[in-house]
Structure 1
Amino acid sequence: MTDTPTRHVVVMGVSGSGKTTIARGLVKATGLEFSEADAFHSPENIAKMEAGIALTDEDRWPWLRALAQWMASRADAGVSTVITCSALKRTYRDVLRDGPPSVDFLHLDGPAELIRGRMSQREGHFMPTSLLQSQIDTLEPLDPDESGIVLDLREPPEVLIERALDWLDIPPATP
């Protein structure tokens, strides 16, 4: 374990909000380690979503705990991280915060019509557009005591990345 504090950033929002694009931009700018939360889903969860069945909280708990454990293990190794995760409910974010010493949330938020349009253009993703409304209905905004910022996904990705970097105050990666 290292004495250097680590940072752990969760780029959150409903499916199709641009989490991966923004997370990859942050990783490129900072050198933090990236992981896509979708890679932590069980085959059963993926099959449910592919079938258009919304996940239950019981489906999500093991997934969220795995994400928290991954961030904690990276923190123990002295590595800062960026992950994508819908993190729709406060209770889900609480589980994520149980992992590393601290977690910052970047909530990508915007109009459902824009997100629906983005989702309809995606290829090879298991999350169908039909589940978007269930995610919107489930979404709980960040509470004032949660370390996070809301970013308007109508802005271009480079603007969102710049705003996130300013808010996070993470030094750029060394070449």
Structure 2
Amino acid sequence: MTGKSIVVMGVCACGKSTVGQQLASAIGAKFIDGDDLHPKANILKMSRGEPLNDKDREPWLERIRDAAFSLESKNETGVLVCSALKKSYRDQIRDGNSNVTFLFLDGSFELILKRMRSRTGHFMKENMVKSQFDTLERPTDESQVVTVDIDAPMDEVLVRSIEGLEFLAQQQASPVNNTQEV
């Protein structure tokens, strides 16, 4: 048996860190916040309110991929937080890893903007919400993805996440459709 990684993904302010921490605790997994893996240049750029481009994200995604590889090679389970907005980003994380599942926290632009306005002490700025949605490629046709509607209290989002992941795990024996929406 190999380890596995659950990558909690979505745009800024969708609840990735909150759900990721709670999910890791609930399933007894390691928690790794992808924000902690950003290179210094990325953090400084985002602090100035400048969105990252693909070149900026490349070393960050390598760090996420390597963290997933480390978990897998040590037969550990981990929950990683990473926006993973484009399919190519998710594919980069999957590269060389055989047991990565994405948990997509999906919400409307209006809901995300409302949440962003209520946040304090985070390097992402409100004006970057549009950039995040412009970049987002929803993982609708990818395997090993659970999509969770976040228009609910966080406790309910966590329950939906766990249920979706459990459903996906049950489908492993019959991988006809490994995309789940809850």
**Matched length:** 167
Distance 1:84 1:118 in 2: 18
| 1:82 aligned partner | 79
Distance 2:96 2:161 in 1: 22
For the aligned residue pairs, the C-alpha RMSD in angstroms reads 1.3
2:35 is equivalent to residue 45 of structure 1: no
Please state how far the C-alpha of 1:99 moved relative to its aligned partner.
Answer: 4.4
1:137-163 CA-partner distances (Å, limit 9, x unpaired): 110010423311211111222222122
- TM-score, normalising length: structure 1: 0.90
Label 1:51 to 1:164 Cα distance change in 2 as closer, same or farther (>3 A).
Answer: same
Label 1:62 to 1:50 Cα distance change in 2 as closer, same or farther (>3 A).
Answer: same
State the SS of the aligned residue for 1:129: coil
Distance 2:117 2:54 in 1: 26
2:60 is equivalent to residue 60 of structure 1: no
| 2:172 aligned partner | none
Distance 2:34 2:96 in 1: 14
Alignment identity in percent?
39
- TM-score, normalising length: structure 2: 0.87
Q: Which deviates further from its counterpart, 124-133 or 151-160?
A: 151-160
Please state how far the C-alpha of 1:80 moved relative to its aligned partner.
Answer: 0.8
Matching residue's letter, 2:154 = P
Aligned to 1:113, which of 93, 110, 114? 110
Q: Tell me: higher relative CO, structure 1 or 2? Use CA pairs within 8 A at least 6 residues apart.
A: 1
Q: Retained in 2: the 8 A contact 1:69–1:99? A: no
| 1:25 aligned partner | 22
Label 1:99 to 1:83 Cα distance change in 2 as closer, same or farther (>3 A).
Answer: farther
Aligned to 2:158, which of 130, 150, 161? 161
Distance 2:134 2:12 in 1: 13
Q: Which runs of 5+ in 2 are unaligned?
A: 170-182
Distance 1:143 1:114 in 2: 20
Distance 1:109 1:145 in 2: 15
Distance 2:52 2:94 in 1: 21
Distance 2:139 2:45 in 1: 27
Moved beyond 4 Å, runs of 4+: none
Q: Which runs of 5+ in 1 are unaligned?
A: 171-175
